[in-house]
Structures are given as structure tokens and as C-alpha cells.
Chains A and B, each alone.
Chain A
Amino acid sequence: MRYSGFRILKEALTGHKGWGHAWRDPEPQTSYDYIIIGGGGHGLATAYYLAKEFKQARIAVLEKGYLGGGNVGRNTTIIRSNYLLDGNEPFYEFSMKLWEGLEQDFNYNAMVSQRGIINLIHTDAARDAATRRGNAMIMNGADAELLNRDQVRVMYPFLNFDNARFPIKGALMQRRGGTVRHDAVAWGYARGADSHGVDLIQNCEVTGMRIENGKILGVETSRGFIGAKKVGVAVAGSSSKVMAHAGMRLPMESHVLQAFVSEGLKPLIDGVMTFGAGHFYVSQSDKGGLVFGGDIDGYNSYAQRGNLPVVEDVIEGGMALMPMIGRARLLRTWGGIMDMSMDGSPIIDKTHVDGLYFNGGWCYGGFKATPASGWCFAHLLAKDEPHVTAKAYRFDRFLKGLMIDEKGQGAQPNLH
């Protein structure tokens, strides 16, 4: 069924009896051509593009819980393509272009809102760095604009421009950046994949991999063995756990990142704002809640909840930037598990096992990458060669010294 304004009118006049389920709930078959492990944003996007763009069939997505119950349901919904390095920027700009056409493509309202993102500047050095980044973005086909202090003041007059430690001197802006309704991304891809014949199998945890003579034959699951010619893993924070079934140790650590929502307020922040120096970023949801966050907690964790010191740190950053939020009450906080890689950049690559492919290491930036991650992973699965924008995301870049280290922190995942 296609969703449309006409359809809404028709259903309104006939008692909303014709909507039906958005996707099937099939039993797993004994074997598939492709199994995607992980029914989150990246896994569902992979299955969707594999079926729709690369015309492959007999595809299943295995999810240990429910669809979209992991990080795609826990992030702060920001999309942007404001990276610096050659290995990253073309990929993220490809993702941005996919976001721009996404809702028409999968016929689902994902509330893609290009409301603009600014990164605040406090020093001359930071302005130089922002200029360089903006130029790198423009050279890769993205949009970037350098704003001065007065231009920022027009947009957000309430900011603490004269903060003694971090006075606001300007900002780097990407007008095409913004926010997307995160759950709807998972639902849209799930519905799109299902309508192209993909089996979405929930409550099906992978407990092992059957590998013989260096080739994958299928996966052991909580619902029995399922055979497959090719297996793609896209499980974010659980990457190390799942790939251990294939005897692999990954260049990553799992860390917890917290996010926060305030009570609903009147319209205050119409874009996305990052205050990197203060470890704080914020946007406002359509319901009025301020959605904000900061740094990861900084120690290995699979707990999906963080600790109070980082709550304090993030809120201090918020208070420094816009002191009036001290009057707002915090509604909710939660945590998600980030697969923090050794250089802060992701991996989309084959493994040493024939037919086993890996997609992970997205750190805390996986949401914005969802469409391109799915597309590039589907490309790799279908054609056995990397997509042109994801060529640098290889496992062996650490061995070869080809790291993509945006922050220049080295092999220290909690600092990326």
C-alpha cells in the first residue's frame, strides 16, 4: 500500500479500516542468499537497498529484539555532512543527498527537516579550522558558510556571547544539515524492505556462525540454524560480541553515550547548535523538548545507561552556552552503546571469512550515515567491491597506517 494524502482522505471516510500492518512478521526460512544481522537503521537500510537498488532476492534481517530498538531509537536525530577528511566527506555528503530524497524514495514520512546546523567558534584558531573544514566540505559538493558574531546573534540572540572562557566569535554553518524523525527512519526502511520481499525476523538472536573451510554457511540463532550464502553484520555497539563468533577481534571498544530531553518549551532553537568547546550540542524537537547531549562517559560499557558525572558535565556546558535553560526541567535521560573505533571512523569491509561482511565502528555518528551506510554495505554485499565513497573504510587501514582520524587522537577510542 502506498501512503499519500489521497489515501488519508479515503481512510478517514471509511473508518480507518484499510491501513493494515506496515510489514509482515514471517517465520525464518531454512536458508537465504543474504542474511543481515541487526534490525536497526543500518541493517534495515542495507536490506532495503540490497533488494531495491541492487535487485537481490532471498534476503533476511535478523534482529535479537525488536526493529529499531537500538541506537536508531536512541540518538539525537541530527544529520549533517560537515567532515574534513577525504576518506569521510564524500561518504557523508552522499548520505546527505540520500536523506534529501529519502521520503519520496521509500514513501514514508521521516520528517527530514533541513533546519541548519552551526558549530560555534570562540577563537581565531578555531575560525581558521572552521574555514578549512568549510572549504573541504565545499570541495566535496557540500554546502558550508562562515558566520560572524552578528549573524549568529540574529539567529540565537539569547546565547551567552560574552562568556569569559568561550566568547562566541562566529560559527560554521551547514544549512542543509538538520534533524530527522529517527524511529521513522527505521520504520520506513523496514516497510520498504518488507515490500521488496525482505523477511524481517525479530526476536531472533544470532548465537553462533557456521564457518567451514574459511567460508560462511549460515548462522546459529535462538530460532535455529539459518543458512546463507552471504552474511552482513550491522550491529553497532554489539559488533565485538557478534564478530567474536567468527573468531575476530575488532579495532574498537564499546562505550556508553548519554542523551537528554527537557520538558516541552515554546519554540526557541529552530536549528541544531554545537558547542564543541563546552562538550554540548542541542536542538529542539517538534514537540518542544530540547534534545541535547555531550561526550561519551569514557569507559567501556554495554549498560545502555551512563553515570551522573557526565550528566553534570553536559548540563554545565548547556548552562554556559544559554544560562536560561537552568529554569527548564529535565524530562528524560538515556544511554546507547557506541562501537568506538580506533580512529573514530567506521568500517565497511569484507572479513577473512569468505561470505562474511562487516559494517560498524560508527562511534557516536551512525545516525546521519544510515542511508549511505546501507547503500554502500549493500553495494559491497552485492558486488563484492566497495562503493566509491566507502573505499577508505577498510579493516587493514590500521595495519597500513591509513587511519581516518578526524580528531587526531590516535588509538584512544574514548577521546574520539
Chain B
Amino acid sequence: MIIHHPILGPRDAQEFVYLGDASLIGRPDGLTASIEEFHNYTYLRDNPAGAHRELWYHEQGDRSWLVVTRNTVTHEILQVELARDVARAEGRSK
């Protein structure tokens, strides 16, 4: 798989470490969230067959976190964004 890094261009997926569903960006507030909310965040996944937004870390590159939208049935990569931009758009870290 080739990941089209927004800054570095086409990079082999081998250079990256895979974390999982990009919903992990939306960590609940540790002071107010219930145990159930943290359980759901930590352990439950949509795990779709089809388009999947997921976090990849460019460990052997510029060490940026990316949100890659990839089809889990065909392995086709549909969109690549900087996780920083996605997180900011979601209102995390101003």
C-alpha cells in the first residue's frame, strides 16, 4: 500500500505504524466521562467492511500522525489528512 502523505508525497506503508480507528482522537474528558464511556472509547470499534478512517504514524519518516481513509475490502486508500488538522477541526487542542 502506498500512502500519499500530505507533506512528503507517496510513501510505502511499511514506513508507518498502524494504531487503529481514527475515533481514538475523540478521547472522552478524563474528569467528567463515566467508566462506560471510557470502556466504549477504549474497547469498542465499528470495524466496518468498506471505508475506514484510521490513524497511521510515520515512524520512519517525519513522525507525523495521519488520518488515512482506506477501504478495508479492497485496501484502496481514498484520502490522507494530517491528524493534527482532523483533531483541530473536531475542536481538540486550539
Contact = CB atoms under 8 A, between A and B. Distances in A.
A339 to B, nearest CB: 9
A300 B13 contact: no
B74 A240 contact: no
B35 A240 contact: no
Interface stretch (B25-33, B47-55, B59-67, B81-89): B47-55
Query: Of B12, B45, B52, B75, which is in contact with the most chain A CB atoms at under 10 Å from its CB?
Result: B45
Given A412-B20, A413-B20, A254 B44 contact: no
Given A301-B75, A303-B75, A309-B13, A399 B45 contact: no
A300 B13 CA distance: 13
Given A307-B75, A399-B35, A399-B39, A254 B47 contact: yes
B7 interface: no
B45 A250 contact: yes
A296 to B, nearest CB: 10
B57 interface: no
Given A249-B44, A250-B45, A252-B45, A300 B72 contact: yes
Given A299-B54, A302-B73, A253 B47 contact: yes
Contacts of B14: 309
Interface in A339-364: 342
> Size class of A's contact patch?
20 to 34
A240 B45 CA distance: 9
Interface string A372-388: 00000000000000000
B52 A300 contact: yes
Contacts of A299: 13, 18, 54, 70
B8 interface: no
Given A398-B39, A399-B35, A303 B45 contact: no
Contacts of A238: 49
B72 A302 contact: yes
Contacts of B19: 412
Nearest to B73: A302
A240 B20 contact: no
A241 interface: yes
Interface string B1-27: 100000000001110001111000000
Given A254-B47, A411-B43, A303 B20 contact: no
Nearest to B46: A249
A167 interface: no
Contacts of A240: 45-48
Given A307-B75, A399-B35, A399-B36, A298 B45 contact: no
Interface residues of B, number: 27
Nearest to A343: B43
Contacts of A253: 20-21, 45, 47
B72 A254 contact: yes
A298 B43 contact: no
Given A302-B72, A303-B72, A252 B20 contact: no
Interface in A296-314: 298-303, 307, 309
Contacts of B39: 398-399
A288 interface: no
Contacts of A298: 18
Contacts of B45: 240, 249-253
Nearest to A301: B72
A44 to B, nearest CB: 23
B36 A251 contact: no
Contact of B47 (A300, A303, A309, A414): A300
Contacts of B70: 299-300
A241 B45 CA distance: 11
B22 to A, nearest CB: 11
Contact of B49 (A241, A342, A399, A413): A241
Contacts of B18: 298-299, 414
B43 to A, nearest CB: 4
A50 B36 CA distance: 35
Nearest to A397: B43
7 contacts: A249-B46, A250-B44, A253-B47, A299-B13, A299-B18, A299-B70, A303-B72
Given A303-B75, A307-B13, 19 more contacts: A238-B49, A240-B48, A241-B49, A249-B40, A249-B44, A250-B44, A250-B45, A251-B43, A252-B47, A253-B21, A254-B47, A254-B72, A299-B13, A300-B52, A342-B42, A399-B39, A411-B42, A411-B43, A413-B20
Interface of B: 1, 12-14, 18-21, 35-36, 39-40, 42-49, 52, 54, 70, 72-75
10 pairs of A and B residues whose beta carbons are closest in the complex: A240-B47, A251-B43, A249-B44, A302-B49, A398-B43, A299-B18, A342-B43, A399-B39, A309-B14, A300-B72
